[in-house]
Every structure is written in C-alpha cells, then in structure tokens.
Amino acid sequence: MYKHRVQKVNYSEVTDKIIRIMEKGILPCGSQWESGRNKSLPFNLATSNCYHGINIVTLWVRELEMEYTSNGWITINQLRTIGQNDEIQIRLKVLPEDTPGRAPNKTGQTGIQVFHAGNFIPGEWKAESEGGMYRSDKTGEYKDQDQIRLSYLKVAGTVFNLDQIENLPEKYQVFDELLPLADREPEITAMTNSYGVPINVSKNGKCYYRPSIHEIFLVHQEQFKSAEDFERVKFHELVHSTGHKSLLGRSGIDRTNGISQKGYAEEELVAELGAAFLCAEYGIPGLMVHAEYLKHYISVLKNNNRAIFKAASQAQTAVELLMSHTPQAKQEAA
C-alpha cells in the first residue's frame, strides 16, 4: 500500500542561507525596504493570508536574494486554479535558458519551501474524563497536556513569488496601500496601553526592559532620528517584556538569574525578529541592527541550526500576544 512520505525540514540548508545574508551585514527582515509594498508581510495570493514565524524570515531572505519587488507568493496548484477560474493561461515566466517547447510550468524557475508548524500529544497518553489530565499507557503517570504536548515542523509545499509569474490578471495585483506611521500611531498607542506594561519615557538614560519590575524604559522620541526609529526600539523592548515569567516565560529574559551570553543572544534575536514582524504589521520600513549584534546572532545560528526556527516561533508568539491587545483583536474576541 502506498504511503505518503512527509518531506523533512533541512534545518542546515535554511540556516546557512540566513547566515550568508547576515554575514553581508543584513538582518533578513522585510522592513529593509524604504517604500510601501503591496503588503508588508509575505502573503499567499490565493488565500490572502500572511505567513508566520520562520516562513516570514525565509521568504524575506528569498526576496533579498532574488531582488523581488513583490511580497506575494503562490503554489503551482493555486496558480492553475486561478488560471482555470479566469480562463486564462497564467504561468511561470519562461527563462532565457529554458528549452523551447517545454510545458508552461516546466521552466527553470525555482520556488522556495514553506513550512507548517503544529503540535500533538503522543499516542501513549490518553485523556482522562476529569481535570484535563492525561494518563500514560506505559508508565501510568498523570500529566496535563502542556507537559506532554510535542511540537513539530514539516514542509508544507513550494511557493513562487509573483515576480516569477506572467499573465496574472490585474485584479490579483491591486492591494490596499500602506498607511503612513502618523495614521497608525493611535492604533499602536491603543495596543501598548491595553497591553499594560508601563513604558517610562525620559530625556536621559537608556532604552531597556527591566524584568524585576516588569517595566520598559525609553529615551524621549526627540533623541531619535525619526519617529520610526523610536517605534522600532519600543517594539524591541515590548517583545522582551512578553518573555516575563507571568506571560510567556522565556528563559533568556533575565541575565541576573545566571543566564549565559548565548542565552542572552538568543533572547535578543527573538526581540529583534519580533520587532521586525511588528514593524511590518504597522508598515514601518528599515530596521536598526548593530554589527556587534549581528555577530552574536551569527554565532548562535552557527552553533545550532535550529536556533532561528525557535527564535522565529517565539517571536511570532510574542507578536500574537501583543497584537491580541489591538482594538480590532479585542472587538473580534468580544
């Protein structure tokens, strides 16, 4: 009987590509672009859904490598469906090196893998009728689902950038324009106020998050080159604050508890990615990354080929926590 084989994730290949970009002095985050794009986060054209976590990073890397101008992506099957629905031959662009007479979608164009993350409870654990506890068939012990749930990552498919496609109808190329920061600031303020972690702003001092009192400290916006720079730093510290023991409980958040330099660098990478995701959410271009930070990030990735996957996942979770405090999210939850 034929059994479908799940394609395994090549962690080293993905990590090596990201390291190569970092070694050029670039943190692979979409907020490098200074002009508004169709959507600031990579999205799937067929579903209009934005990608999450490690997919954001890998697709941004691909856009940087290939100098794509679009943030839109689509699978071959989705491309065929759109073509059938619109009765038009939409296909991947033919490259100069392609053999004449090849099938429309059999060109030298290459796509990039996207991943699906999830979690499961191993089969040995059976749910009990009361209290949400699970019992092991092997040992007889009891645990709650948070203790036994395991995460997984698998290849979900291959996508192509919209720049690689020809004959795409105009209706699929029209998107809402990104609003300027001045128009988004009330929404950002509403989110930070609802989130509730105090933000202390003064004309002197430094920008940092203090876990011991669960507060953020920033210098006044006047001391930044732009309002965008101020928001980026604020986002960075907000992501740090989500790691507090009362919230997401990330181990690298507090150096006073004997956290290693490696653990601190990992937490900084989470904050930097989270800030980039938030910048993209709010249409803020550019991202300040010091060379010294990049050196630490590269070291983390070279020592652990799964570190970027973990950091991206934690950054995504942090951003989702913060964005759950936006007025729109609260209205939808009501």
Per-domain residue ranges for the chain? 11-112+156-172, 181-333
Q: Write out the two tokens for 160.
A: 């192509």
pLDDT at 234: 95
> Order of strands across the sheet with 112-120?
43-44, 72-74, 150-161, 112-120
Helices (H), the chain: 11-22, 54-66, 76-86, 145-148, 181-195, 227-241, 261-281, 291-303, 307-323, 327-333
Regions of the chain where pLDDT drops below 70: 1-7, 28-39, 85-86, 96-106, 120, 129-131, 145-148, 150-151, 174-178, 254-261, 286-291, 330-334
pLDDT at 35: 44
The pTM of the full predicted model, rounded to 2 decimals, is 0.82
pLDDT at 36: 41
Give the 3-state DSSP-derived string for 162-179, with helices as H, strands as E and coil as C: HHHEECCCHHHCCCCCCC
Distance (Å, rounded) from C-alpha 237 to C-alpha 313?
Answer: 18
pLDDT at 252: 80
pLDDT tens for 73-130 read 999 999 888 877 667 778 888 776 666 666 655 677 889 999 988 776 777 778 876 6
Q: Write out the two tokens for 65.
A: 């490598």
pLDDT at 118: 75
pLDDT at 236: 93
